[in-house]
Amino acid sequence: MKRILFITNDVIGDSAAGPGIRYRELGAALARKGHTVTVMGRSPSFQAPQPFVPAKLSAGNIIRHVSRNDCVVFRGGGPLTTLLLMLFARSKVLIADLYAFTQFEVPHMVARNIRERLTTEVRKRFHLFKFRLYGGFCSRFWVANDHQMHFLHGLVYGAGRAPESKSIAVVPFGFSSVPPVKRKEVLRGVVRGIDHGDYLLIWGGGVWDWLDPLTLVHAMRMVRDSDPRIKLYFLGTRSPSGYLPAQAERLTDAARRFGLLDATVFINASWVPYEDRIDYLLEADAGISLHHDSLETRYAFRTRNLDYLYCGLPMIHSDGDAWADIIRNNRIGLVVPPGDAQAVADAIIRMHRDRPMYDSMKRALGERGGQFTWDAIAERAIRSIEQRPSERAPSAFRAAAAVAYHYGMFCFSVVVVFGKALLRPRQG
């Protein structure tokens, strides 16, 4: 049995977004199989006992827990977390979990003031240096789909290394093996304006700046004129970390400007706890996820769609990513062109009115998804962990030299960013 440490710079607990959910579920699945698991993240808070050990993310905890474990799986991490892992975990089984390619998300983040603009520019540069460090220190990677695997092979080759020297495993997001059960009413007859006879669409995750909820709002304005009993609910806008994307503010403003807010479009201004989300999803008729045509889309894996699959919700989804292919090939939803509000409106109305098509999608959903249970994904994870290493860990001297070089270059780039900001002429 292995001793496994998961590290994320996101919140872990009863309210969590993607990374926190991933490590909570993977950690629990691996612990059930007899492994000793620690999950480290920000603000750990669980009401119920967990089969793994929760730990708070800090420099001291990273050093202590790395020494106690055989394997370290990490996702994200700022300059300090990355530095500590490169130095103290180099002799461990060190796995970079790239199920979400953050470096493609950051350029889409909207900076609302100079502090956010500087933070975004620094993050862009750090992601470049971080990937170079990964190439030298990590021999194992997890990705969520084949698109990401192909990109990573190209990245390794471009860095002058043989792709065969790296072990890349497809370890996607998942859902519970236990069928979903509704515990309470949360929307119909509870939220004013959403009635039992309405046709209800749900947007199941955050409204991050690289997604496209605004096209959906425009589509709902058209839908309202065709059928006012079609409603839309956004499950959450402010993440558990407290971050509110600029997209959330734009979404609320647009819904209010079109006269849709709290009549046709309903927006949860906070975040639904992880265990409660099933009650919301089971009251919906269909799930929806829209995005732009971008590099982020090409290499994304929309985790919200797994909740739709788990709860048997046919989907409306933008074209251009791996999920569009899954939806088309398995006939479990409708795929629309990115940014086309009319096509989205037509798909919503068709999903509502074409009952034979809808019922066929529901049946197809019932036949899919076995490979996406957390237990099945945990099997993939442990095979990757137990695989013999393809590269030797770097020596202490080489590790220190590589870290010093890359962090020196990163610090220099940060000085350049701040220098440009200070020298930029003020407007007005």
Q: How far is the C-alpha of 340 from the C-alpha of 336, rounded, in Å?
A: 7
Return the closest-CA partner of residue 90 out of 82, 100, 102.
Answer: 82
pLDDT at position 88 is: 87
Catalogue all structural domains in the chain, each as residue range(s) with its CATH number. 3-174+377-423 (3.40.50.2000), 199-370 (3.40.50.2000)
Residue 116 has pLDDT above 90, yes or no: no
350 in Cβ contact with 227 (< 8 Å)? no
Look at residue 422 in the predicted model and tell me its pLDDT.
Answer: 62
Q: Which pLDDT belongs to residue 427?
A: 47
pLDDT at residue 285 tops 90: yes
Instruction: List phi, psi (to 5°) of 378.
Output: -60, -35
CA distance 12 to 37: 14
Q: Return the percentage of the chain with pLDDT > 70, whole number.
A: 93
Nearest-5° Cα angle at 270, 268 to 271:
95
Picking from 8-22, 78-92, 191-205, which range would have the lowest pLDDT averaged per residue?
Answer: 78-92
Are 196 and 229 in contact, with CB atoms under 8 Å apart?
no
- Could you tell me if 393 and 90 are in contact, meaning their C-beta atoms sit under 8 angstroms apart? yes
% pLDDT > 90, the chain: 58
**What distances in angstroms separate CA 220 from CA 200, 236, 378, one per listed residue?**
12, 18, 39
Three-state DSSP class for residue 410: helix
Cβ burial of 201 (10 Å; 0-12, 13-18, 19+) is buried
Distance, in Å, from the CA atom of 165 to the CA atom of 369, rounded to the nearest integer, reads: 32
CB atoms inside a 10 Å sphere around CB 372: 16
Cβ proximity of 270 and 238 under 8 Å: yes
Six token digits for residue 163? 């792709």
Sheet holding 230-234: strands in order across? 265-267, 230-234, 199-203, 286-289, 315-318, 333-336
pLDDT confidence of residue 423: 63
CB atoms closer than 10 angstroms to residue 382: 19
Element (H, E) at 201: strand 199-203
Contact 71, 92 (CB under 8 A): yes
Q: What is the pLDDT of residues 138-190, one digit of tens each?
A: 778 999 999 899 888 887 777 666 667 678 999 999 999 899 999 999 999 99
Q: What is the mean pLDDT of the chain?
A: 89
> Does position 69 have pLDDT exceeding 60, yes or no?
yes
177 exposure class (CB count in 10 Å sphere: 0-12, 13-18, 19+): exposed
Give the residue among 283, 304, 74 at the shortest CA–CA distance from 182.
283
Supply the pLDDT for residue 428: 44
